[in-house]
Copies of this chain bind each other. A is one copy, B any other.
Amino acid sequence: LTFHYPNGKRYAAQSTYDQKTPSNLSFANRGMTLEEDINASNDFYLKAGSAVIHKKPTPVQIVSVHYPKRSAAVIKEAYFKQPSTTDYNGIYKGRYIDFEAKETRNKTSFPLNNFHQHQIDHMSDIRRLDGICFVLLRFTVSDMVFLLDAQHMLDFWDQQQDGGRKSIPRQFVEENGHSITVGFNPRIDYLKIIDKIYFNNKTETL
């Protein structure tokens, strides 16, 4: 199943509507989407009590709802809305955490058309208000996941607006991002990277 936004852009989050993360997680990553991996990791963090980070529900414009007797209300007509924020936010060590997660099959660069202006504006606002803001990028073919601070995203976005390149070179991501080893539980341990790059740095500058 593939959903599309009214603008024709593929909607990537639908695969988890009907399926739950399997309780017997296989170590191999094949077949798990980035979103499923992150949801499982957030679940792990929540149960461990270390962070509360959730994926926001997909925004939907509801047009028609039916109320059958003796059963749940059924939405009979609704449309996908463009989100006005990133997909994930929450709290870790008292700080506000905000990120977007995207994957690409491209091997040499990360196309910027995976993002839209609303998300970019949102990330810019979050940074200005001193939130921890980043993107998680997965190169699916090599199954490599990187955390890249939002400021780099914003820089590339600005350059693109000025006629610059339409993607972030993989080499840039490797040199300026932080590689995350895909493991068992949590599958994508991005808090470990956050500790290193946001909390340690913070301490050093205090």
Q: Which chain A residues have a beta carbon within 8 Å of chain B's beta carbons?
A: 1, 3-6, 11, 14, 17-18, 46, 49, 51-52, 54, 56-63, 65, 67, 72-81, 83-85, 89-98, 122, 125-126, 128-131
Q: Is the CB of A79 within 8 A of B73?
A: yes
Question: Given A3-B65, A57-B60, A60-B57, does the pair A129, B91 have CB atoms closer than 8 Å?
Answer: yes
Given A3-B65, A72-B79, A94-B129; 19 other pairs, CB 8 A cutoff: A3-B73, A11-B73, A14-B62, A17-B61, A18-B61, A18-B62, A54-B85, A57-B59, A57-B60, A57-B81, A57-B83, A60-B75, A72-B80, A75-B78, A78-B78, A91-B129, A91-B131, A93-B129, A96-B97
A4 & B96 in contact (Cβ 8 Å cutoff):
no
Residue of B nearest to A128 (CB): B49
List of B residues within 8 angstroms of A97 by Cβ: 96
Residues of chain B within 8 A (CB-CB) of A96 are 90-91, 94-97
The residues of B that contact A6 with a CB separation of less than 8 Å are 72
Name the B residues within 8 Å of A95 (CB-CB): 94-96
Listed by A's residue number, 7 A-B pairs whose Cβ atoms lie within 8 Å are: A3-B73, A17-B61, A49-B128, A58-B60, A91-B126, A91-B131, A94-B95
B-chain residues with CB within 8 Å of residue A46 when the two chains form the complex: 125
Which chain B positions have C-beta within 8 A of A78? 60, 74-75, 78
Q: Which residues of B contact A54 (CB under 8 A)?
A: 84-85
